Amino acid sequence: MNPAALLQAACFAARKHRDQRRKDAAESPYINHPLAGVNVLASEAGVIDQSLLIAALLHDTVEDTETTFDELQEAYGEVVRRIVEEVTDDKGLPKETRKELQIRHAANASNLAKQLKIADKVCNIRDIASNPPSRWSEDRKVQYLEWASQVVTGCRGVNLKLDQVYGEAMTMAREKLGVEKP
């Protein structure tokens, strides 16, 4: 693995997301999210695939900034581009349609994209449990957990450590929100 390539991707993502904030009450810098995702994959799930780790850093750049897939391919290669394409929502579609498509596409995604999707959900679930969006009701938090569970169901079985990390994150979130396991 080339640490310089990971740092380059982290700097690229930081530049692209520099003016964005998370929806939590503290309005945390957005870059914290992709960094958390890489940490979940590398530190908790034992992922060493450089393309996957770079894609995790860049996974929201096309969806949430002016970045293009061609730009990612030129800088990071076709594999990174394909992973990011698989996890990128079409913001031109209504939110409910995008959410439904994530559920439907999860089972047919590549193994690399499945792992990224799970890591992304782990980070979001942890945030909802410990530092939720300030305007979200308890109901909305619970609905997110239910939806995330549907998405992740189609992704499981690729990385058993990551599946365990997801299970622990979901258990912790349900306990904090007082939700029974379905």
Query: Exactly one of 49, 64, 163, 168 is catalytic; which is it?
Result: 64
- Counting Cβ atoms within 10 Å, is residue 26 exposed (0-12), middle (13-18) or buried (19+)? exposed
61 token code pair: 């750049």
CB proximity list for 6: less than 8 A, separation 6 or greater: 38, 50, 53, 54, 57
The residue type found at 146 is: E
Residue 64 annotated as catalytic: yes
Query: Exactly one of 24, 44, 49, 63 is catalytic; which is it?
Result: 63
70 token code pair: 């061609």
For helices 111-130 and 138-153, angle between their N-to-C axes, nearest 10 degrees: 160
Residue 78 annotated as catalytic: no
Residues taking part in catalysis: 63-64
